[in-house]
Amino acid sequence: MRYLQLTVRCEPAAAEAVADLFIRLTGGAEIHDPRDVAAALQEGRWEATDLEPDPSGLVTVRGYLPALAQQASQRRRLARGLSRLRRLGPGWIGRLAVRPVAEEDWAEAWKAHFRPLSVGPFLIVPSWDPVDVPAGALPLYLDPGMAFGTGQHATTALCLRWLAEVVPATGRVRRAVDLGTGSGILAIALARLGVPDILALDVDPVAVRVARENVARNGVGAHVQVVHGSLDSAPARTWREGGPVDLVAANLTAGLLAGLAPAIAGFLAPDGVLVASGIVRERREEAVRGLAAAGLAVEEEREQDGWLAVRVRPLAQPARQG
């Protein structure tokens, strides 16, 4: 299948606002931050000979649309949205570049750079490059394709490490939601940690397909249900009726997190916990205000490469004792 690759370069201060726009209009967004590249090269997670940091310091945001005639209206809406953002002035935003790309070309090109990676107790293993898994490590076999989530990005790594702490410490996480599952990495990680009933949601049909493939690849299909839609979808509402939701994992932007906070609060059990990431430092207050307005209190924050993750609980509720 052929897609249109939509690309915008912008200053870091504008990156999350641009990504929010891409997510609303294309169903997903990639954020290529030169700070992430520099950190990956330093830590040996990518081949330095093939990937170099961008000296301009600009962030690249990309999204994809099927190359169909009826997508022209979405491209126009995206261009208008970028014009509005430029007037609001969160930072310099470049022009929208559009080019056709085959899904197979995009999905295969980066494989030369993706290596096995340890994040907390997890070993993230490219499906095409199997390795011996050390005793005690929790393997996550992934082929992300065009979906977000390899563990290389700071936001995913922050979530993985925190889930590895929260689930054992709580001791009673029976039902969990991975909101914006992408490649399915967080849902699979929750299954590896022993959570028996997980709902993985994404509004991007390509991500849903990829997540289902990765769930099957990891043999956790009995524990993870991947659904196209968000918390207000009929399958999600039906799943919610099955019992209290002990944990929600959400690797989203600050704007999306704030907008979805009321729905998240409605899903969480009174003593449940939300682990959220994808919040760029400059938009922390927006996320915290949105969570607080929905009755959710930030208990702890962590930061990596300019990105924040938060641990959140419903207000005025005691933490469940393990």
Give the span between the Cα atoms of 218 and 184, in whole angstroms.
Answer: 10
Upper half-sphere CA count for residue 55 (Cβ side, 13 Å)? 0
Establish whether 202 is an annotated binding residue. Answer: yes
Give the homologous superfamily in CATH for domain 2-111.
ACT domain (3.30.70.260)
Bridge pairing between strands 296-304 and 224-228: unpaired
Give the homologous superfamily in CATH for domain 149-314.
Vaccinia Virus protein VP39 (3.40.50.150)
Per-residue pLDDT at 69: 56
Going 81 to 87 to 90 to 95, the CA torsion angle's sign is: positive
Per-residue pLDDT at 206: 79
Taking 70 as the threshold, does the pLDDT of residue 25 lie above it?
A: yes
pLDDT digits (tens, 9 = 90+) for 281-290: 888 999 999 9
Domain-wise residue ranges, the chain: 2-111, 149-314
Upper half-sphere CA count for residue 121 (Cβ side, 13 Å)? 15
Please say whether the beta carbons of 82 and 93 come within 8 A: yes
Instruction: Pick the more confident residue, 112 or 34.
Output: 34
Closest CA to 253 of 213, 183, 211, 309: 309
Residues 129/46/283/161 CA torsion (nearest 10 deg): 50
Q: Running DSSP on this structure, what letter comes out for residue 71?
A: G
pLDDT digits (tens, 9 = 90+) for 245-263: 999 999 988 888 999 999 9
Structure tokens at 237: 């509402």
Between the CA of residue 306 and those of 139, 283, 284, what are the distances in Å? 27, 11, 11
Establish whether 180 is an annotated binding residue. Answer: yes
Taking 80 as the threshold, does the pLDDT of residue 303 lie above it?
A: yes
pLDDT digits (tens, 9 = 90+) for 154-210: 888 999 999 999 999 878 899 999 999 988 999 999 999 999 999 999 988 878 988
User: H helices within the chain, ranges in order?
Assistant: 12-26, 34-43, 72-88, 103-109, 154-170, 185-192, 205-217, 234-240, 254-267, 284-293
Taking 50 as the threshold, does the pLDDT of residue 312 lie above it?
A: yes
Mean pLDDT of the chain: 83
> What mean pLDDT comes out for the span 18-42?
73
DSSP 230-274: -TTSHHHHHHHTTS-EEEEEEE--HHHHHHHHHHHHHHEEEEEEE
Q: Is 11 exposed, middle or buried (0-12, 13-18, 19+ CB in 10 A)?
A: middle
What are residue 303's DSSP bridge partners?
308
> What mean pLDDT comes out for the span 296-322?
82
Please say whether the beta carbons of 194 and 167 come within 8 A: yes
Per-residue pLDDT at 321: 47
**φ, ψ dihedrals at 295, nearest 5°:** 85, 30
> What mean pLDDT comes out for the span 21-37?
76
Reduce the DSSP state of residue 59 to 3 states and report it: strand
Please say whether the beta carbons of 162 and 217 come within 8 A: no
Mutual orientation of helices 185-192 and 205-217 as an angle, nearest 10°? 30
